[in-house]
Amino acid sequence: MSDIFDRLKKDHDTHRDMLEQLGDTSGDSDTRKTLFEKFRIEVSAHAAAEEETLYAVMLQDPELREEGQHSVSEHKEIDDFLEELQDTDMSSPGWLATFKKMRHRYEHHIDEEEQDIFPVAEKQLEKGVPDALKDKFEDRKPAEIERAKEGERNEALD
């Protein structure tokens, strides 16, 4: 049985693959459009469910609060990049430039979670908590996927 840390790392590996694939797309192609939308929904849902589980617990622990706040502020930064990408014409050179910046920041974020944040949390959290958080994450993520999908529909109506 895996705990929250293994579960989150599994998602991160999926995100790394998706970024790699997106990096190989060009212009206003259907592949880029489809892959980007998939990535946006997946990463938004991952970050939201991560905040509702692991980071919710970390923010309540004085020993882990600072690390938690750091990660949550990086989520906001990534979210802003994703919004900017949604609002930029995919065939413009600006899209790729912003994508590269976002990719760099996001890869840094998940590397840092895996190398610095998760080990500190793993040491501090009480026995049983990482397993329970994993169940909660599995529970929350599908709902967050639906919310992220809706985000697209609402914006399309603007």
Site of interaction with Fe ion (CB under 5 A) = 8, 50, 113
Q: Taking a C-beta distance cutoff of 8 angstroms, is the pair 57, 129 a contact?
A: yes
Plot region of 63 (φ>0 → left; ψ -120 to 50 → alpha; else → beta)? alpha
Cβ closest to Fe ion, residue 32 vs residue 46: 46
CB of 43 to Fe ion, least distance (A): 9
CB of 110 to Fe ion, least distance (A): 5
CB of 26 to Fe ion, least distance (A): 28
Cβ closest to Fe ion, residue 85 vs residue 90: 85
CB of 101 to Fe ion, least distance (A): 17
Cβ closest to Fe ion, residue 113 vs residue 144: 113
Q: Which of 12, 11, 31, 10 is nearest to 21 (CA)?
A: 31
Cβ closest to Fe ion, residue 42 vs residue 99: 42
Q: Which of 71, 74, 70, 97 is nearest to 84 (CA)?
A: 97
Tokens representing residue 11 in the block: 């998602």
